[in-house]
């Protein structure tokens, strides 16, 4: 049995599924690149405190990518688009993928096994697994991530298959930028028991080519969660 860690963005409303009360004061949003590069201070201040379920999925704050709503008691919708979909070098493998709406049930979030999905760690992973996984496909451009669809699916199934609903714990942590202390680079903000691991999430497609997993994401549902306030 394994346990799970999930990185989350810092949130001033305890991750309840609403936009922060004071988005511009959230230093974490400046510390994490993909949140900082996508944030819109004026817009987020204008919608401060509104629940994500009441916003258009295209208008959610960038912390939607960082489990910013794992304590939401309401269902909300997220739109995911594969980062290679519009790449000219990946049209044969990813050009048919389409932005896909995913309903996120209450007290659920997404989990990505980052280390398992990096190309540099594949030899080490293969050496400790009893069964051989499909070989990766050589990417048409430099990338740190496993590229081949079949290997992605096998890695995800193997990783999440080791979790035990009702027994495995989920530790939610945040990194630098949280207001507790600059000396803490990993701060646990919530611990819960895993109740459900969803199936591999896949992109909508056009045509007959096979789809891809959603960036290595599984949806997990948690219960009995103790969360920092």
- What is residue 199's predicted lDDT score, i.e. its pLDDT? 78
CA 157 to chain centre: 16
Closest of 2, 225, 21, 228 to residue 107, by C-alpha: 225
- The per-residue pLDDT of the chain, averaged, comes to 89
List of residues 6+ apart from 59 with CB closer than 8 A? 43, 47
- How confident is residue 32, by pLDDT bands cut at 50, 70 and 90? confident
**By percentage, how much of the chain surpasses pLDDT 90?**
65
- DSSP secondary structure string for all residues of 58-103: GG--GGGGGTTTTT-SS-EEEEE--TTTT-GGGHHHHTTEE-EEEE
Q: Say which residue, 48 or 161, is predicted with more confidence.
A: 48
- What is residue 197's predicted lDDT score, i.e. its pLDDT? 85
- What is residue 132's predicted lDDT score, i.e. its pLDDT? 93
- What is residue 222's predicted lDDT score, i.e. its pLDDT? 59
Q: Specify whether the CB–CB gap between 169 and 192 falls below 8 A.
A: yes
pLDDT, average across residues 40-56 = 96
- How confident is residue 214, by pLDDT bands cut at 50, 70 and 90? confident
pLDDT, average across residues 196-212 = 89
- How confident is residue 112, by pLDDT bands cut at 50, 70 and 90? confident
* pLDDT one-digit tens code per residue, 6-23: 999 999 999 999 999 999
- What is residue 229's predicted lDDT score, i.e. its pLDDT? 46
Quick check: 148 pLDDT over 90? Answer: yes
Q: What angle do CA 60, 93, 147 make, to 5 degrees?
A: 80
């Amino acid at each position: 049995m394994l346990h799970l860690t999930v990185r989350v963005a810092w949130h001033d409303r305890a991750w309840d599924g609403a936009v922060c009360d004071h988005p511009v004061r959230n230093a974490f949003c400046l510390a994490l690149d993909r949140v900082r590069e996508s944030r819109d201070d004026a817009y987020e201040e204008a919608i401060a405190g509104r629940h994500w379920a009441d916003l258009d999925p295209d208008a959610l704050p960038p912390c939607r990518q960082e489990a910013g709503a794992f304590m939401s008691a309401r269902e909300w919708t997220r739109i995911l688009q594969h980062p290679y979909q519009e790449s000219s070098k990946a049209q044969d493998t990813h050009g048919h993928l389409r932005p896909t709406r995913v309903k996120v049930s209450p007290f659920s979030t997404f989990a990505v096994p980052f280390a398992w999905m990096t190309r540099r760690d594949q030899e080490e992973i293969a050496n400790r697994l009893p069964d051989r996984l499909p070989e990766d496909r050589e990417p048409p451009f430099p990338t740190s991530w496993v590229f081949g669809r079949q290997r992605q699916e096998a890695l995800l199934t193997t990783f999440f298959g080791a979790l035990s609903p009702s027994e495995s714990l989920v530790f939610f942590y945040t990194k630098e930028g949280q207001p507790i202390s600059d000396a803490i680079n990993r701060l646990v903000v919530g611990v819960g028991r895993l109740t459900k691991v969803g199936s591999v999430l896949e992109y909508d497609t056009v045509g007959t080519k096979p789809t891809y997993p959603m960036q290595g994401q599984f949806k997990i549902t948690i219960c009995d969660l103790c969360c920092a306030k």
